[in-house]
Structure 1
Amino acid sequence: MTEKLSPGVGKVLKRLHYPLDVMLLCVRWYVTYPLSLRHLEQMMAERGIAVDHSTVHRWALKLLPVLEKEFRRRKRTVGKSWRMDETYIRIRGEWRYLYRAVDKAGNTVDFLLRARRDKAAARACFEKAIDQNGEPETVTIDRSGSNLAALQAINAPRDVPIKVRQKKYLNNIIEQDHRAIKRRTRPMLGFKKFRCARILLGGIEVMHMIVKGQMDDGGVDQNPAQQFYSLAG
């Protein structure tokens, strides 16, 4: 396996001293299931592998950015009708905001963690989503004034503006999709650092997209676990 590693993973492994398959298993479980780090420590101990919960956390922080970068290279194209909304994430006892967008089929378009809920945050999310996925034809939002102001600012220089709809019931699909992310973050009992939250949420979102079938596996017909492992190279 080490002969086929991506350059990013190979660089990470120089500083980590466990077998890659063990690290990937722990990281995948952590971003897929509602497990705490101490649960993972106990589960690995039952398999005869001694690993501290803080070590699993370090593996996740080192590996997930590399795996997310590779996933984005293989991500399937999303539709042109988007639903955008934000949900709350607790970091150091304070609420922060995870902006998320899905298309009308429920496929994740993009996401962005921000410290504030305002026009600048909403615009940053829209611009990131457009940069990564191309321009949508329509964006549906709720009655948030900051989200509307962000889209109006993005539309201002365009000859053909993005159509904006403010219809809350049409956003049910993304509100339901938030639940999959919140189910995973709940056992974490809040994040301690913004940077850690951003990385771990990125990993959770990547695994969520893989489960939804948003990764191009080259026609190999791999299951979600195999797709996740293939991101390492």
Structure 2
Amino acid sequence: MKKPRPSLYARHRFPAEVISLAVWLYFRFPLSLRMVEEMLAARGIQVSHETVRRWAEKFGREYANRIRRRAPRPGDRWHLDEVVISIAGRKHWLWRAVDQDGFVLDVLVQSRRDRKAAKRLLRKLLKKNAMMPRVMVTDKLGSYGSARREMGLSIEHRQHKGLNNRAENSHQPTRRRERQMKRFKSVRQAQRFLSIHDPISNLSHLRQHQLTAADYRNARSAAFEKWADITSVALAAWKIGSSQSKFCRVPVNGTMP
């Protein structure tokens, strides 16, 4: 008996295997939409880059939400940092928080780098993670300390640039995507993209330099299995071969891509 199609993919003419693969490629690697289109075409899957964009927005959001709901409890030491980004010729600040293992807790794009901006980030983190960290590590920006005192948080606060490399390194994937996308076009686009990109990146955050080759391969296989489970796709079916040209059929009237 044929397994019923997951409701998430209803009225989409392409199967879940193709959609999940396209979204994974786009958010997992610094690829443009046209690059993903060409990689799918090499597998015999004819789909436009505009369709990939719509998939990334719709399904990427759902995947990211599922990853967050299944994510383990974050560490008790939070590293906070901010980096400047240019949007439409104007300076903005990307605020990011990661735990001691390098997993991104949240991101927030703001136009300011002051106490109110730091306070907004802390409130969002506490509400989203439903826990209080044991230690908060930041650079020497005074806004963090002011926000912590104003909110009445009795947590240890360590301010030292050398201690915050964990958060600073987490900005690197964003920088690569920013260059690939020729900068973000708006605050909304940047916030929407990064709120999807970072949870998916967390899924593949394996810290290869701390694992043996065998352990790394096992961890990578486990990440693939988690992705297949989150996207409601069988792991074997997700690894699509180029010979499966059945995905290239003509669109059906009244269906979505």
Q: 1:193 to 1:113 in 2, by over 3 A?
A: same
C-alpha displacement of 1:85? 0.3
What's the counterpart of residue 227 of structure 1? 226
| Aligned equivalent of 2:168 | 175
Structure whose alpha-carbon radius of gyration is higher: 2
- Give, in angstroms, the shift of residue 195 of structure 1: 2.7
Do the aligned partners of 1:79 and 1:104 also contact (CA within 8 Å) in 2?
yes
Q: CA RMSD in A?
A: 2.6
Which residue is 1:39 aligned to?
35
Q: Contact 2:138–2:160 (CA<8 Å) still a contact in 1? A: yes
Note closer, same or farther for the CA distance 1:54–1:4 as it changes in structure 2 (3 Å cut): closer
CA deviations 1:123-179 (Å, max 9, x no partner) are 222112112221012111112122222222222xx5xx1222211111012112221
Residue 223 of structure 1 aligns to a residue whose secondary structure is helix
Question: Is 1:154 paired with 2:147?
Answer: no
Q: Is the 8 A contact 2:84 2:92 kept in 1?
A: yes
Give the conservation status (yes or no) of the 8 Å contact 1:41–1:53: yes
How many correspondences in the alignment?
Answer: 219
- Relative to structure 2, which stretch is displaced further, 220-229 or 27-36? 220-229
CA distance in 1, matches of 2:103, 2:75: 8
Contact 2:139 2:160 in 1 (8 A): yes
CA offsets per residue over residues 92-123 of structure 1, 9 Å max, x none? 34333221112223232322233433322222
TM-score (norm 2): 0.75
Whole-angstrom CA distance in 2 between matches of 1:95 and 1:45: 38
Amino acid at match of 1:140: V
Percent same amino acid among aligned pairs?
33
Distance in 1, Cα, partners of 2:5 & 2:114: 44
| Aligned partner of residue 101 in structure 2, secondary structure | coil
Residues 61 and 196 of structure 1 are in contact (CA less than 8 Å); yes or no, is this contact kept in structure 2? no
1:105 aligned to 2:101?
yes
* Structure number with higher relative contact order (C-alpha < 8 Å, ≥ 6 residues apart): 2
Contact 1:31–1:184 (CA<8 Å) still a contact in 2?
A: no
Residue pair 1:99, 1:125 contacting (<8 A) in 2 also: yes
Which stretch of structure 1 is more off in the superposition, 181-190 or 65-74?
A: 181-190
Residue of structure 2 in register with 1:201 after alignment = 194
The corresponding residue for 1:59 is 55
| Structure 1: segments with no counterpart, 5+ residues | 215-219
Residue deviations 1:70-100, cap 9 Å, x none? 1111111122121100123443343332211
Structure 2 spans left out of the alignment, 5+ residues: 208-218, 233-257
Aligned residue number for residue 190 of structure 1: 183
Q: Which residue of 2 aligns with 1:145?
A: 142
Query: Quick check: 1:211 aligned with 2:207?
Result: no
Aligned residue in 2 for 1:117: 113
Task: Measure the CA separation in 1 of the matches of 2:92 and 2:11.
Answer: 31
- Evaluate the alpha carbon distance shift between residue 23 and residue 116 of structure 1 in structure 2; reply closer, same or farther with a 3 A threshold: farther
Partners in 2 of 1:190 and 1:3 — Cα distance?
Answer: 41
Secondary structure of the equivalent of 2:75?
Answer: coil
- Structure 2 Cα separation of the partners of residues 150 and 72 of structure 1: 26
CA distance in 2, matches of 1:232, 1:124: 32
